[in-house]
């Protein structure tokens, strides 16, 4: 993985919030593979398969969607040629002004269209560290 790959993947991960927050769900293919597995089991949604499934899930959430998705702490590790693991933190701001924190655990693969998330697991942070 070279610097150009790192920049492309970071841009892709950052672009997620912009597309979701502005309702550009017809552009999800710019982030996710067509057969993406989107694991929101910890939120009661199970594993959602495919772009249309992700789109429907986001629409079903309606007003429960954050008004702002913010990504930070992006850590990239190459697994194999054209396969990368990405761990990042997500901060979601709700319509009421509360803030939620999640961890995104992603697998990305390079395709003819460029890097795409093939699997995403979203894990909420609900309690602080207790050593």
Domain 3-125 has CATH 3.40.50.300: no
Of residues 64, 13, 23, 17, the one with CA closest to residue 43: 64
Encode pLDDT of 33-47 as tens digits.
Answer: 999 999 999 988 899
Taking residues 57-76, report their average pLDDT: 92
pLDDT in the model for residue 126: 82
Is a pLDDT exceeding 90 seen at residue 127?
A: no
pLDDT in the model for residue 116: 98
Assign 129 a pLDDT band (cuts: 50, 70, 90). Answer: confident
pTM of structure:
0.92
Of residues 31, 87, 91, the one with CA closest to residue 55: 31
Taking residues 53-63, report their average pLDDT: 91
pLDDT in the model for residue 40: 95
pLDDT in the model for residue 63: 84
Q: Are residues 86 and 71 in contact, defined by beta-carbon separation less than 8 angstroms?
A: no
What average pLDDT does the structure give for the chain? 94
Beta strands in 7-82 (DSSP E): 32-39, 47-49, 68-80
Q: Residue ranges per domain, the chain?
A: 3-125
Taking residues 109-118, report their average pLDDT: 97
């Amino acid at each position: 993985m070279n610097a150009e790959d790192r920049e492309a993947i970071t841009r892709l991960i950052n672009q997620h919030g912009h597309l979701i927050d502005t309702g550009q769900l017809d552009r999800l293919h710019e982030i996710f593979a067509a057969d993406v597995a989107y694991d929101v089991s910890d939120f009661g949604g199970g594993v959602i398969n495919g772009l249309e499934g992700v789109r429907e899930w986001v629409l079903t959430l309606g007003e429960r969607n954050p008004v702002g998705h913010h990504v930070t702490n992006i850590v990239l590790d190459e697994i194999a040629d054209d396969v990368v693991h990405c761990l990042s933190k997500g901060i979601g701001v709700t319509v009421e002004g509360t803030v939620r924190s999640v961890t995104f655990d992603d697998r990305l693969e390079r395709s003819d269209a460029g890097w795409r998330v093939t699997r995403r697991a979203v894990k909420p942070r609900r309690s602080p560290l207790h050593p």
